[in-house]
Amino acid sequence: MKAAKQTDTIDQRLADLEEIHAHVSNIDKRIAKQVKGDILKLKAGHSAEKSSAYLLDKLLQESNRSILLHDLRLDLDGDIAQIDHLSINRYGFVKLYETKSFSTGIKIDDDGVFWRWDDYATRYIEIPSPVLQSQRHEVTLKNALNAIGYEALHFSHYVLVDYKAKLIKPKDRKFDNVCRPDRLEEVWNREEEKPLNLRDLSAGLKGVGRLFSGKALTPEQLQEFGNKLAKMHTALQMDVWSRYGLEKPENTPAVENQEVSAEKKAYKKSPLLQQPTGENAQLPERLSSSKAARRLKLSTLEFLANAESFGLVTKEGDAYVATEKAQNHGVENKVFRNIPYVSWPIPVIDKIGATVTSKKEV
């Protein structure tokens, strides 16, 4: 049976992170490093989820007893569950799968505590239990299933560890449900051989009762429940910029029809750029504001403040844009990956530097 929901794309989130990385690369190396790490984690996690989804699809695609949903996010009045993979079957049995992609390895000790290896600290660091994490989703999921009319009898939880990660766990098979994706069918078979506790036995008897009483769902009914649950999916809406304490610059600088304040219009005339440069306005050698500032041994903010005092730039939102006066002398407004910036001809930069120096001398 075809999955009722596939894994969401990460294209937009990835594009947002890459845009932020480009924006902060020359501004804040610490944030840039953090964003780069988050990009790698996002790609690794998505790859692990896609790999698990592929194997789960292969296991259940010919079955009319279960239907899969991948990457399901439920938000029931603020009660949120993010489930990597989920299957529901004809008899009321529900299985949740949590995917983990710790590249450095994961270990479970005899007490059931989960640890990941930290290369920098060269030791294992305790992490929240993925099994308990999955179990916490159970209440939210049960409420969602009740809302669509599906009566769940039993929930099982599995943690699928990516092949790139080393997996160490006790040998007593107490954590059979933590395994590689391709060992899942083997784990299911071993579970059928285990003696059931009273709760599992009760659920199993009810499931058998549904089978023989004709109350088990038909494949068509199961597909309908899968589709209804998929429609309850709420995609994550995140302001990625604010996550790093940043505000996203406006995509398109409003250069045309810009309203310049009376204070800007009344700036004191300077000998700077009184004569247009004509054909020399478009010089091949140009620098961004940050590089122009370094040329003059100023901070970027100092350079832009001086340029603003000369009426060459104005601030719109969080971005500086070149004024009409500046554009008449070859200064250009540019956009790189939706980030606006000002491109300065070398002669203009040097004239700003000369004027600033003369002011300091006075």
Q: What pLDDT, on the 0 to 100 scale, is given for residue 339?
A: 64
What are the backbone dihedrals phi and psi of residue 96, each rounded to the nearest 5 degrees, phi first? -110, 140
Q: What pLDDT, on the 0 to 100 scale, is given for residue 36?
A: 92
Give the whole-angstrom CA distance, residue 137 versus residue 339. Answer: 39
> What's the pTM?
0.64
Q: What pLDDT, on the 0 to 100 scale, is given for residue 69?
A: 95
Digitized pLDDT (tens) for each residue of the chain, 362 residues in all: 889 999 999 888 899 899 999 988 888 889 999 999 999 989 988 988 999 999 999 988 877 889 999 999 999 888 889 999 999 999 899 999 999 887 778 899 998 999 988 877 788 899 899 999 999 999 999 999 999 999 999 999 999 998 878 899 998 878 999 999 889 989 988 887 665 555 565 665 666 666 556 678 999 999 999 999 999 999 887 778 888 888 777 653 333 333 433 333 333 334 444 444 444 334 347 888 888 888 898 888 888 888 888 889 887 756 788 888 888 888 988 865 456 788 899 989 988 888 776 655 53
Q: What pLDDT, on the 0 to 100 scale, is given for residue 158?
A: 95
Q: Give ∠ CA 273-277-278 in degrees, rounded to 5.
A: 145
Q: Give ∠ CA 122-128-130 in degrees, rounded to 5.
A: 110
Residues 6 or more apart from 236 whose CB is under 8 A from it? 73, 82
Where would I find the beta strands (DSSP E) of 62-145? 66-76, 79-89, 93-100, 106-108, 114-118, 123-127
- Residue-range domain boundaries for the chain: 11-242, 250-361
- Torsion angle (degrees, nearest 10) of CA 235, 239, 241, 246: -170
Q: What pLDDT, on the 0 to 100 scale, is given for residue 353?
A: 85
Do residues 340 and 319 touch, judged by C-beta distance below 8 A? yes
Give the whole-angstrom CA distance, residue 345 versus residue 354. Answer: 15
> For residue 173, is it left (φ>0), alpha (ψ between -120 and 50) or beta?
left
Give the whole-angstrom CA distance, residue 46 versus residue 12. Answer: 13
Give the whole-angstrom CA distance, residue 111 versus residue 309. Answer: 67
Residues 6 or more apart from 111 whose CB is under 8 A from it? none
